[in-house]
Chain A
Amino acid sequence: MIHARGLARVFDTKRGREKVAVTAVGGVDIDVDEGEIVGFLGPNGAGKTTTLRMLTTLLKPTRGTATVAGFDLATDPLNVRRNIGYVSQSGSTAMTARAGEEVIDHALLYGISRDRAEKRGKQLFEQLDLDGMWLRQPKTMSGGQRRRLDIAMGLVHDPKLVFLDEPTTGLDPQARANLWTHIADLRNKLGSTVFLTTHYLDEADALCDRILVIDNGVIVASDTPDALKRQVAGDLIELLLTQKSDATAVLKLAKAIPGATKATSDGLVVTVRVPSAGGELPPLLRALEKAKVTLAAIEVRRPTLDDVFLTMTGRSLREDS
């Protein structure tokens, strides 16, 4: 469905008076098979949107080639556009239009009949919990509702390849879970291929068959969610002590946990990574009690994108959202 080779984009921007070339994407290879759901994971400014805009014909690559949905990006953009859907990161409807009209007009531009557009649009509104919003103006809708309207816009023509740029930002947990089901159904029921960007590892984990990790315009990892998580190796347990003198004893206990890695202590804090905190905590607590150690606090953290990054690149995310 997508085969990109050395796709790169350099922006010319001005910093004060002098011109600087910003390499947003520095030559990425991407392969996505039909029927796959692939996650594109990376921090702010990594180059996710830029890559998506190139693959959707919105932005001309500085270098590199790609075929998307079976057509060459450079020589046959029209056929690429006919076969893809795109939900941009930042809205797609006019604030003063009516939601339903925007969806229908969008579909008409794809050459879909009005009847079919209306039927499919209303169906999507129902599935995305937008019932009763057909005649609403986007400016009167909440941020999350507008986000779902954007998604309805991108899906109304039932594209066989869908690009979603951070589809779940601004959605509450319930809407997020609902959208996950919907995205999974795109593949399971309609046989579509989905390429989506996200900041959240849990999202990529829940949805994707495969994850590409991008940083600074370069793909640093490409693997299944499980394999990525295996590399990160489990949950982080953080123990806050009441007395510094306990640190050595606690560190020893932490290291004794089966499968423990990277046990460290720093003042009153002892951290350790274990494959699964849920099963390891009770014995650890019992052992601590036996050693007469009192804890001030205990915290368990699931692996995050930050942890994936730390493992992949040896450094932390510059910023996380």
Chain B
Amino acid sequence: MFFFQTWVIYRRQMRLALRNPVWVIIGLAQPILYLCLFGPLLKPLTAQIGALNAYTFFVPGLLIQLGLFGALFSGFGLISEWRQGVIESERVTPASRAALLLGRVLRDVTSLGVQGIVLVALGFAFGMTGSIPGMILGLLITVLLGGACSASSNALALTLKSEDALAPILNSIALPVLLLAGILLPISIKTGAPEWLVVVSDFMPIKYLVSAVRELFTGDFFTLITMWGCIWTVILFAAGLWFGTRTFRKDNV
């Protein structure tokens, strides 16, 4: 029953998303633009960072960025649905509250998966090399991170029910994460970051995800960095789903 309800919600969400071609195109264009416009800028920096192939190094960062930002703003869609009365009309049915959330999270996960594959495929076109199984695992990490972001964003949106309240919160989360996780430029002594910045960035869980995906892309599966990345992925995913389902279950929102 739970899976069927999740499926009904998911299918409905996918139908609505696919019916709006603008979002499909924007979703696919984003990774392409990043690679085309950002890649050339980063290429000269390859040696300085100590990477062999610029794209094997930068695609993982872009993947995590995709996972974060592709899903973090999905709460806005929920607020618009709430305004139209859709959320209330779903909540009055016997459907599991977790299914209402999960169907939406799966929609974001699906679109992230497709975007991630496009990004990786494009990376190859630009000359990326590396381990295919590693890339698949990297995609998995991305998608799980996206799921966590989507669940938290939807839960936050359901609590706040106002775009004006949601936007500043999401932005104030997004910016430090983007800067501290070393998504675009790795933060380490090697790249010339001051020590305090390195220490601060050590407290940013996403940083471990980025590092792990980088390792995985080069084919290093059984390293401490990979392990920490996987652990943090599972923690973030579990925390996101927990927060999300707890919020959706509350019966006075």
* A227 close to B (CB within 8 Å): no
Give the distance to chain B from A194, nearest Cβ to Cβ, in Å. Answer: 16
Contact B12–A81 (Cβ < 8 Å): no
A residues near B88, Cβ cutoff 8 Å: 58, 88, 92
Contact A81–B94 (Cβ < 8 Å): yes
Q: Which listed segment binds B: A108-116, A171-179, A184-192?
A: A108-116
* A275 close to B (CB within 8 Å): no
A residues near B91, Cβ cutoff 8 Å: 58
User: B20 — nearest CB in chain A belongs to which residue?
Assistant: A96
One digit per residue, 1 when the CB lies within 8 angstroms of any chain B CB and 0 when it does not, for chain A 52-92 equals 00001111100000000000000001100110101010111
Contact B252–A92 (Cβ < 8 Å): no
User: A62 — nearest CB in chain B belongs to which residue?
Assistant: B252
* A94 close to B (CB within 8 Å): yes
* A153 close to B (CB within 8 Å): yes
Contact B251–A60 (Cβ < 8 Å): yes
* A206 close to B (CB within 8 Å): no
Contact A88–B89 (Cβ < 8 Å): yes
A residues near B8, Cβ cutoff 8 Å: 105, 108-109
Q: Which listed segment binds A: B45-53, B79-87, B108-116?
A: B79-87
Distance of A90 Cα from B81 Cα, bound (Å): 12
Cβ-neighbour of A109 out of B81, B84, B90 (below 8 A): B90
B5, B88, B90: most-surrounded residue (chain A CB, <10 A): B88
A residues near B204, Cβ cutoff 8 Å: none
Contact A94–B16 (Cβ < 8 Å): yes
* B190 close to A (CB within 8 Å): no
* A36 close to B (CB within 8 Å): no
B residues 59-114 near A (Cβ < 8 Å) are 81, 84-86, 88-95
One digit per residue, 1 when the CB lies within 8 angstroms of any chain A CB and 0 when it does not, for chain B 1-13 equals 1001100100110
Give the distance to chain A from B5, nearest Cβ to Cβ, in Å. Answer: 6
* B43 close to A (CB within 8 Å): no
Give the distance to chain A from B6, nearest Cβ to Cβ, in Å. Answer: 11
Known: A109-B5, A110-B94. A97 touches B85 (CB 8 A): no
Distance of A90 Cα from B251 Cα, bound (Å): 19
B residues near A3, Cβ cutoff 8 Å: none
Distance of A90 Cα from B1 Cα, bound (Å): 29
Distance of A126 Cα from B92 Cα, bound (Å): 25
Distance of A294 Cα from B17 Cα, bound (Å): 70
Known: A97-B12, A109-B95. A57 touches B85 (CB 8 A): no
A residues near B84, Cβ cutoff 8 Å: 91-95
B residues near A255, Cβ cutoff 8 Å: none
Known: A59-B252, A60-B251, A96-B19. A111 touches B94 (CB 8 A): yes
User: B251 — nearest CB in chain A belongs to which residue?
Assistant: A60
A residues near B86, Cβ cutoff 8 Å: 92-94
A58, A81, A109, A153: most-surrounded residue (chain B CB, <10 A): A109
Give the distance to chain B from A10, nearest Cβ to Cβ, in Å. Answer: 11
* A101 close to B (CB within 8 Å): yes
* B15 close to A (CB within 8 Å): yes
Known: A58-B88, A82-B94, A111-B1. A77 touches B251 (CB 8 A): yes
A57, A77, A92, A153: most-surrounded residue (chain B CB, <10 A): A92
B residues near A84, Cβ cutoff 8 Å: 92
Contact B92–A97 (Cβ < 8 Å): no
Contact B94–A60 (Cβ < 8 Å): no
Contact A94–B81 (Cβ < 8 Å): yes
Contact A86–B92 (Cβ < 8 Å): yes
One digit per residue, 1 when the CB lies within 8 angstroms of any chain B CB and 0 when it does not, for chain A 121-154 equals 0000000000000000000000000000010010
Known: A97-B15, A101-B12. A92 touches B93 (CB 8 A): no
A residues 188-222 near B (Cβ < 8 Å) are none
One digit per residue, 1 when the CB lies within 8 angstroms of any chain A CB and 0 when it does not, for chain B 214-253 equals 0000000000000000000000000000000000000110
In the complex, given contacts A92-B85, A95-B84, A110-B93, what are 4 additional A-B residue pairs having Cβ atoms less than 8 angstroms apart?
A94-B84, A97-B16, A101-B15, A106-B89
Interface residues of B (CB under 8 A from A): 1, 4-5, 8, 11-12, 15-16, 19-20, 81, 84-86, 88-95, 251-252
Cross-chain pairs A/B with CB under 8 angstroms, 21 sampled: A57-B92, A58-B251, A81-B93, A81-B94, A88-B85, A88-B89, A88-B92, A91-B85, A92-B89, A93-B86, A94-B81, A94-B86, A105-B8, A105-B11, A105-B12, A106-B90, A106-B93, A109-B5, A109-B8, A109-B94, A111-B1
Interface residues of A (CB under 8 A from B): 56-60, 77-78, 81-82, 84, 86, 88, 90-97, 101, 105-106, 108-111, 150, 153
